[in-house]
Amino acid sequence: MEGCNVARYFGIEKCIPRKTFGNRHSSCQPQYLCSMKTNKKQITMKKFILSAALMVIGFASANAQSWISTTNRTSRSSYSQSSNINSSSRYQQGYTRSNGTYVIGHMKTNSNETNHDNYSTRGNSNPFTGSNGTVARDYSSQSYNYGSGQTIHTGSRGGQYYINSNGNKTYVPKRNSFGY
């Protein structure tokens, strides 16, 4: 046993024999030296425990955020599961709109015949930004709110649009021609 531990065990911490520490000038070693040795060990152990605890908290926090993100994405709608999001995506370079507004580059799903699997569609979530979609799904009851009171045209590739007040095409989620 080490000198400090022996002294504490026997209750004689105030005076430790000199042969324990090799001190030739006195017959006792003061208590504070014993405490200093013990404190260094305790501080080292506390640092180790604190580091380990911080690592555990960090991993738990990351997993919790991942779980919350997944839960939010899948619980909003039956269409929001990742299997319904277009797995084929591409980077859209930044560009300037005709009105002078600059749109920064971003990831987007490749074009296909529906908007059900697009990041911007309501119930879906963009995995790159974490934002939730806001556009109504094709053929949903909400799609009839887009362009209400306008004549809806169908383009050569199946897209539906109306002509806005500026004379431009404004595309809307698809809806059937029967009104339901």
* pLDDT cut 70: percent of the chain above it: 52
How many CB atoms sit inside 10 A of residue 110's CB?
11
Cα–chain center distance at 69: 6
Q: Where are the domains of the chain?
A: 3-75, 84-135, 138-180
- How far apart, in whole angstroms, are the C-alpha atoms of residue 113 and residue 119? 14
- 111-156, pLDDT tens digit by residue? 777 776 777 787 787 777 888 877 777 666 666 666 667 787 888 8
Q: What is the average pLDDT value for the chain, to the nearest integer?
A: 68
Contacts of 4 (CB under 8 A, 6+ apart): 13, 16, 34, 35, 37, 38
**Virtual torsion, Cα 78, 81, 85, 88, nearest 10 deg:** -160
